[in-house]
Every structure is written in C-alpha cells, then in structure tokens.
Amino acid sequence: MREPIDLNWKEFGSALLNATPNGVAVFDNSLQAVISNRLARDSLDLYPGAFLSATVPSLMAAARQVLSAKTLESGMVVKKNNSRYSVLLGPIRHGDAAIGVLAVFEDMTALTNMTNKMKGFQQLSIELDTIIDSSNDGLWICDGNGVVVRVNPSSAKMIGLSATEVVGRHMSELVEKKLVDRSVTLEVLKTRKKVSLIQETRIGRQLFLTATPVFDKNGELFRVVVNERDITEITRLQEQLKENAALTERYKRDILEKQIQETEYRQIVAQSANFQKIIQKAIKLGEVDSSVLILGESGTGKGVIADLIHKYSSRAHHPMIKINCGSIPETLVESELFGYEKGAFTGAGHKGKSGKFETADKGVIFLDEIAELPLASQVKLLRFLEDGVISRVGSTRNRPVDVRIIAATNRDLKEMIGKKQFRSDLYYRLNVIPVKIPPLRERKDCLVPLINHYMDFFSDKYKKPRMVLSNETVDALSAYPFLGNVRELINICERLVVMATDRQVRYEDLPGSVRKALSPSRPVGTSWQPGQTLEQLVGDLEKTVLNQALKHAGTQARAARFLGINQSTIARKLKKYGLTKPVLEPEMAERSSK
C-alpha cells in the first residue's frame, strides 16, 4: 500500500494548473496577473505581478468587458512569440461582484499548420479531380482487390456505362455479366505487372488499355490504374489506308493490263527505212533508264513509241501513267501530278490525295504535250529530275519516288525557250535522248500497210465483213497528204468501215475533206511565143495539163477521171509526150483485186 503524499493545497493547485495543456492566468480588477501556470509564464510572459496591458495589450478591451458585463468572451486570437493562441476570458465572482478575470490560452500553432496542410491536400485533391475528369483518355481505377473505385467521364463515354453502374463492383462481376468483354485489371492482379490489351466495348468502340499496378510502402498492391485510349478511328484509318494501298495496287495492275492489251491491239507498221530506225532506237532505249524526249507532229504515234520503250524496259511489269499536260487546268496541274494534303486548298479532299507520280512509283510517267506544262510546275518537275523526290501541295515533307520520265511534244521547245515559255534547264534534263518521229507523208512505204491493218481492225471490231477498196479509193488515199498523220488515217479508216453499205468502198465513199483535197487545180495557161505554131502551143498546154493531173492524182485512172476522158486516151497521150506511168504498189494492187 502506497504511503500518502504530503502535499499542501497551495502546491496542489500549482501542480493542477501546470498539468493543463493550455496557458492559464488569473487577473485582479486592475488586470494585474495574480496567478499563472508554467505555459502562461514561459510562452506569454504572464508572470505574477505583470500587467495585461504590458504583456498582451490586444486583450485589454475584452478583459474590461468581462469585468463590467460579468460574461464570457471567446473566439479571440492573439499572436505572441511566433505563436497563435485562441483565448477564453471569464469573470471571477465574489457574490454579485466581479473581482477578477480568468484567462485560458490554447496554442493554435500546430492546429494551424495542420489546417494549412489539409487545405493543401484539399487543393491537390481538387486539382487531381480536375485533371482526371478533364482527360480525353479514359481512367479506370480499382482497389487492390479488383473493386472499381473511380471512373472518369471519358471512360464512361467510351465504355457506354455510367460511373454509378460500375463503381463498387468487382471486375470479375462486370466480365461475367458481359458489361466488359475483357479485364486488364484482373490480369494485373494475377501478374502484379503492367499489362496492355485491346478491348471491344458494348457500343462498338475499340479501346487500347494499359493497366499499371500501384504498391504501398510495404509492397502491397492497393490500386490498379487503367488508362484507356479510343483507337476506333485510328483502326478505321489504318484499315482504310490498307484498302487504299490495295486499291492503288489494283489500279496499277488494271492500268498495266490495259496497256498490255492496247499495245497488243496496235500494229506497228515500219516499212519505211526512217521509221524502222525509230523502232530499233525505241527498243534499245528500253535497256536504259534515261529520260527520253519524243518529238514529232501531232498524230505521228509518239505514244506508241513510248509504249514500245516501256514494253522493252525493266519497268515493264509496272504501269506507265500517261498524262496529257494540255488537258489539265493550269490551277490543278501540280495537285494532279504531285498530289495534295488535306485542306491544302479550297475544295481539296479532307483526306488528301496521292498524285500521278506516286501512283507510277517503280514505273514510267509519260508526259504528253510537255510544252503545255506551266512554268511553276516545270520547276517542281526539274527538282524531281534532280533529286528524285516530290512534295505534295500543302506539305513540307519530301517523298522519294522511283519513276522514269518519258516526255513528248509537237512544238519547238527551243523556240519556246527563246520566248521564256519553257525552262532551258528542264529542256536539257528531258532531252537526254531525243527521238524524232517523221510524219506519215515521209513514210510512204508505211501508208498502204497501215490502211490495210486498220480497215481489217475496224471490220473485226464492228463485226463487219472485210472491206474491199476500189482502185480509185486506194489511189486517192495513197495520194492524200494526211496532215493529221496516223491519227487521221485511223479516223478515216474507222469512218469508212462504219459508214460502208456493202463490202466495196468506192471513191464516192471517201470523206468530203479527202475528195476536196485531191481535186485538181486549174492549170496556168501558157503564152504564145513568136515562131510557135498553134499545134505546138496546144501540145505544150496539153502536156502541162497531163503532167499536173498525173502528179496530183497519182494514177492514170484518177487523172483520166479528173480530166473527163477515158483511161485509154490518157495512156496514149502519156506515151505520146513521154510522161512517167505510175506503178501501183504490189500490196495495194493485191488488196484492190480482191
């Protein structure tokens, strides 16, 4: 049994005051400290005998109010020695009189610090909430057991479920009820490692999920944070790009097949020595990869020569993209040739478009009528010839393209250079190997075989019997100059086949433009010379007329028809004057006799 402690009441009162966690002081009516505990003395300098006005003057008014009104005053805060105190003042009564004031000081420093920290935590929490809720990515947070604790608005929109439908539920339950098809959170709970997978949502969206485990300081898994990214559009674009690539490849195959078919339909007739050299040169050019410039009048077959070069080149299994530079509006030339990015100009497609150069990658670009290319586009073409890269309209990115250039024109480029209509540097880049095609009027040996070929070709095409040309028709076509070259010849042959009423094609069936061009002009009369008889003058005139008629008509039959006499008469007169008798070409003679 413990012995009682010998302690007087004064010492007990002092020990009691010192035991309280607050500062305590008693003031008399003059507000002079009478009693104070240790905290009041050490922290507030309230020693017995000290006046309140000298130690804590900010409490003077409240202390006087307590003495006069005999009521409590609370809620006051004072600062002393870098600390904050909440103060309670109460009256000390004796009977009905107030004989002093009791002051209790509660130290608020620790509480203030804690409050400030709590405000900081609260602000941080608000910021985190704002970040989470405003994120375009979905955020799905589960606890260490797989129970959903939070879902942000983006996630709720992606999965087609509201937060109230999933928060508080276990992930296995959501999978079991098919609210989600797969759970990346459950995978993390098994492996305790970061996991990524693709998930299909109930509303048809495709999400890329990445789940990250969060561990506490003891290494225990207490959160799983899932980042969700909607890749539906990206997947769709990837599929569309694959489809576009496949479509482009299909177009290339179709173009190539069409070109092969077209080349097989065309028969290259090279009976003339000058044209045979052109054919041999084209085949030789197929063995190299240099740029080629084909020159010649319109309709001479520049495209046929380009086809021949392509056919015998290492690029024959890739298409040749043909572009008529004169048929594209000047404002669209660059976008057609080099493509454009989305929004590059008003009316541009929202997906952008590849140009002809990209389509022709690994193949050939045939730039027909190159002289019509605008100067601005000439610059980009020159740049491609120098470095092998192009850039789409509206793009700063260069794209390497492997394309061989074959150009053609019927104009005089050197003359255009002098007029500042064509760049000289581009001309010399294109004119590495020039090919000059002669006009049809300089290929007389090719004329009859070409007529034979295309008459038969169009007869087969329109399912008509093979046509037979009369002698006059053959003679007329042989004498016609064909200023439109092979293209005009093809058109005339097609017209004759289409308009023919029977197998015989007569002179009258020829187009009016052909007959008109072959009509003889009136010969110029000769003047009489002294000593010349009338018989001599008539003979000279007759000889001149016969010579001109024969030269223009080409054959005795046509000359006789033009002059209104029979063939035997003109034959006799030709013999009389020693004029040359034209000889019908064997191939045409054979055809005419059918």
Give pLDDT, residue 592.
41
- The set of residues, in sequence order, having a beta carbon less than 8 Å from that of 383 and lying 6+ positions away, is 389
Compute the half-sphere exposure of residue 107: CA atoms within 13 Å on the CB side of its CA. Answer: 15
Q: Give pLDDT tens digits for 238-256.
A: 777 776 666 666 665 555 5
Amino acid of residue 409: T
CB distance 205 to 230 below 8 Å: yes
Letter string b/e over residues 139-165, b meaning 16 or more CB atoms within 10 A of that residue's CB:
bbbbbeebebebbbebbbebbebeeee
Phi-psi region of 579 (alpha: psi -120 to 50; beta: other; left: phi over 0): beta
Residue 228 has pLDDT above 70, yes or no: yes
Average pLDDT over residues 190-213: 84
Q: Give pLDDT tens digits for 73-86.
A: 888 888 888 888 88
Residue 523 has pLDDT above 50, yes or no: no
Cα-based distances in Å from 91 to 17, 52, 69: 18, 15, 9
CA 448/CA 454 separation, integer angstroms: 10
First to last CA, the chain: 155
Whole-number mean pLDDT of the chain?
80
DSSP 168-237: TSBHHHHHHTTSSS--HHHHHHHH-S-EEEEEE-TTS-EEEEEEEEEE-TTS-EEEEEEEEEE-HHHHHH
Reported confidence tier of residue 367, pLDDT bands at 50, 70, 90: very high
CA 363/CA 373 separation, integer angstroms: 21
For residue 353, the 8-state DSSP code is: B
Helices vs. strands in the chain: H and E counts, helices first: 25, 19
Give pLDDT, residue 129.
67
406: part of which helix (H) or strand (E)? strand 404-409
CB distance 466 to 432 below 8 Å: no
Give pLDDT, residue 545.
79
CA 322/CA 367 separation, integer angstroms: 6
Average pLDDT over residues 219-235: 82
Q: Give pLDDT tens digits for 467-515.
A: 888 877 887 888 888 888 988 999 999 999 998 888 888 888 888 878 7
What domains lie within the chain, and their CATH numbers?
A: 9-111 (3.30.450.20), 135-230 (3.30.450.20), 244-436 (3.40.50.300), 443-449+458-518 (1.10.8.60), 534-592 (1.10.10.60)
Average pLDDT over residues 262-268: 52
383-387 contacts, C-beta under 8 A, 24 or more apart: 384/357, 385/291, 385/426, 385/429, 385/430, 386/429
- The set of residues, in sequence order, having a beta carbon less than 8 Å from that of 407 and lying 6+ positions away, is 291, 292, 293, 294, 366, 367, 368, 370, 430
